[in-house]
Amino acid sequence: MVQPREPEASIPPAESFIPAAEPDSVTTSTNIVERIDGNDLSELFDAPPVAVVEPPRFATEAELATVSSFTITLATGESVDITQSALLGRMPQPGEGEEFEHLIVVTDPGRSVSKTHLEFGVEGAELWISDRNSGNGSIIREPGVVPRRAQPGTRYTVVRGTRVDIGDLHLTIT
**2 domain-assigned:** no
Is residue 51 scored above 80 in pLDDT?
A: no
Per-residue model confidence as pLDDT tens digits over 29-39:
555 555 555 55
- Taking Cα atoms as reference points, which of 81, 61, 147, 30 lies closest to residue 163? 147
Is residue 133 scored above 90 in pLDDT?
A: yes
Per-residue model confidence as pLDDT tens digits over 94-117:
999 999 999 999 999 999 999 999
CA–CA separation, 44 and 37 (whole Å): 13
CATH number for 108: 2.60.200.20
**165 domain-assigned:** yes
Per-residue model confidence as pLDDT tens digits over 57-69:
665 666 555 558 9
Give the pLDDT of residue 19: 58
Is residue 135 scored above 90 in pLDDT?
A: yes
Sheet (strand 138-141) strand order: 79-82, 70-74, 169-173, 163-166, 138-141, 148-149
Indicate the average pLDDT of the chain: 81
**12 domain-assigned:** no
**162 domain-assigned:** yes
Count up the domains in the chain and report the number.
1
CA–CA separation, 88 and 101 (whole Å): 11
**65 domain-assigned:** yes
Give the pLDDT of residue 20: 59
Lowest mean pLDDT across 14-18, 88-92, 116-120, 158-162: 14-18
Q: Which domain holds residue 69?
A: 61-173
**95 domain-assigned:** yes
Is residue 151 scored above 90 in pLDDT?
A: yes
**80 domain-assigned:** yes
**157 domain-assigned:** yes
